[in-house]
Structure 1
């Protein structure tokens, strides 16, 4: 019992130390930007803000992706986490044209937003002027190394069958496909320090695992943006899922 408590405390400390460093990401880390064809918060005319945003980001060395995915470069098409999604939100007040430029990662988590305003009353010139003000706070692109393509097909692998053991042991899983009985996922190794669990047919990770300082214990970022811990146990992948009451439930993904 004491050993389990110490283990839990160790995991909590690991998560606290590494969360910010592991998951922190800046807009300038990206090369590719996706801009929607129309900004949703503008009910009617968007006053050419889509083109204005594309021009402003291109001037900061970002590559703005075309509307059709089949025209995207391979490193953007094959892994959505190489793309940051930009949006302009109408933040207008009674006498001032105001906008918010918002950037989201592949998990739909806001990683940066910048507000801009203009005292020009006319919408046609006031909104672009407000957007120009907001873009002043956006750093120029200084991209990090691209993530590799997400594997869409994984060859079937048979998990080795072992005799039951009395105690849980840290054994790395050998299977590529896993299930918790409700959700089927596949394990995709990104590099030596991280892997993802992706739902079948989706390029958006269900969970991202990054190495901690303890062998076979990982810092996990879930699709909803929450951070927790995960680990290997008897060839399965285990995630401690945070609950609203502050407790954690054990979610076990076994090889298929």
Structure 2
């Protein structure tokens, strides 16, 4: 008798509310914006950091030492960027906040200045743009996570669902030291690259936290405690490999 092959995955996930600005703990400000030639030219970056801190955020420049938890969870962080749309006689600045997927989650109203001297003009325009940030009345609130234990069936997703005969399947576990892979954002997921560098897997997002479909491998990548496991079939042999993935 034939049956569709499923991978039964038991995992604890959180049910999350949609994030608001208050759910992000840190702001990282580029030490050089793309509209100036030079690091912190006209003190644009240091002023931006100062104003974020003034209005309740915890802000760092991107070349400063960051808290350890930022390395473990980049999605606690928003990137605070000044965008310039100046014309010949008017300096125009807006503030963008971007999440860990580089998605814009907030854009300020445009701040303007008629000052002729560059430093004064940028400072006035940035301060005016920050009136929108001030109006947020930011206060950090950790995102509540209601833990729910579920049993989730995740099919080995392929263009055509793989059908196999009922039989005992050999499981091959790779017991070597866990290889480190680095995640690079692609459409609908990530590509995981080793230190050579070469692409080891392309993984696609699912609606389950910390579970990805491995493209072209008929398998999944999932997190268990502090490690990531790639689980797929190779010539009807089930392969499980452990990795350390840096997002």
Q: Normalising by the residue count of structure 1, what TM-score does the alignment of the two structures yield?
A: 0.50
CA distance in 2, matches of 1:37, 1:146: 32
- Go from structure 1 to structure 2 and tell me whether the alpha carbon gap of 1:65 and 1:143 turns closer, same or farther (over 3 Å shift): farther
Task: Return the match for 1:142 from 136, 140, 143.
Answer: 140
Tell me the alpha carbon deviations over residues 68-121 of structure 1, each in whole angstroms, 9 at most, x when there is no partner. 46x321111222222111111221012211012112111222222223232432
Q: Which has the larger radius of gyration?
A: 2
- Go from structure 1 to structure 2 and tell me whether the alpha carbon gap of 1:42 and 1:68 turns closer, same or farther (over 3 Å shift): closer
Secondary structure class of the residue paired with 2:89: coil
Q: What number of residue pairs does the alignment pair up?
A: 168
More strand by share: 2
- Go from structure 1 to structure 2 and tell me whether the alpha carbon gap of 1:126 and 1:78 turns closer, same or farther (over 3 Å shift): same
Task: Return the match for 1:47 from 31, 34, 42.
Answer: 42
Q: 1:33, 1:83 within 8 Å by CA — same for their partners in 2?
A: yes
Secondary structure class of the residue paired with 2:140: coil
The alpha carbon displacement at 1:67 in A equals 4.2
Q: 2:96, 2:104 within 8 Å by CA — same for their partners in 1?
A: yes
Secondary structure class of the residue paired with 1:106: coil
- Go from structure 1 to structure 2 and tell me whether the alpha carbon gap of 1:105 and 1:253 turns closer, same or farther (over 3 Å shift): farther
Structure 2 partner of 1:38: 32
Q: 2:181, 2:194 within 8 Å by CA — same for their partners in 1?
A: no
Q: Does 1:26 align with 2:20?
A: yes
More helix by share: 1
Structure 2 portions without partners, runs of 5+ = 1-14, 146-162, 167-172, 175-179, 183-188, 196-201, 222-229, 233-239, 242-247
Q: Does 1 or 2 have the higher relative contact order (CA < 8 Å, sep 6+)? A: 2
- Go from structure 1 to structure 2 and tell me whether the alpha carbon gap of 1:22 and 1:92 turns closer, same or farther (over 3 Å shift): farther
Over aligned residues, Cα RMSD in angstroms?
4.6
Q: For residues 24-173 of structure 1, what are the structure 2 equivalents within 5 Å?
A: 24-43=18-37, 46-68=41-63, 71-122=65-116, 123-138=118-133, 139=136, 140-145=138-143, 165=164
Q: Normalising by the residue count of structure 2, what TM-score does the alignment of the two structures yield?
A: 0.52
Q: 1:116, 1:132 within 8 Å by CA — same for their partners in 2?
A: no
The alpha carbon displacement at 1:51 in A equals 1.4
Tell me the alpha carbon deviations over residues 177-229 of structure 1, each in whole angstroms, 9 at most, x when there is no partner. xxxxxxx979xxxxxxxxx9783569xx9655444xxxxxx899x9xxxxxxx
Secondary structure class of the residue paired with 1:137: helix
- Go from structure 1 to structure 2 and tell me whether the alpha carbon gap of 1:33 and 1:185 turns closer, same or farther (over 3 Å shift): same
Q: 1:35, 1:65 within 8 Å by CA — same for their partners in 2?
A: yes
Tell me the alpha carbon deviations over residues 126-154 of structure 1, each in whole angstroms, 9 at most, x when there is no partner. 2211111211212214343499xxxxxxx
Structure 2 partner of 1:199: 192
Q: 1:210, 1:219 within 8 Å by CA — same for their partners in 2?
A: no
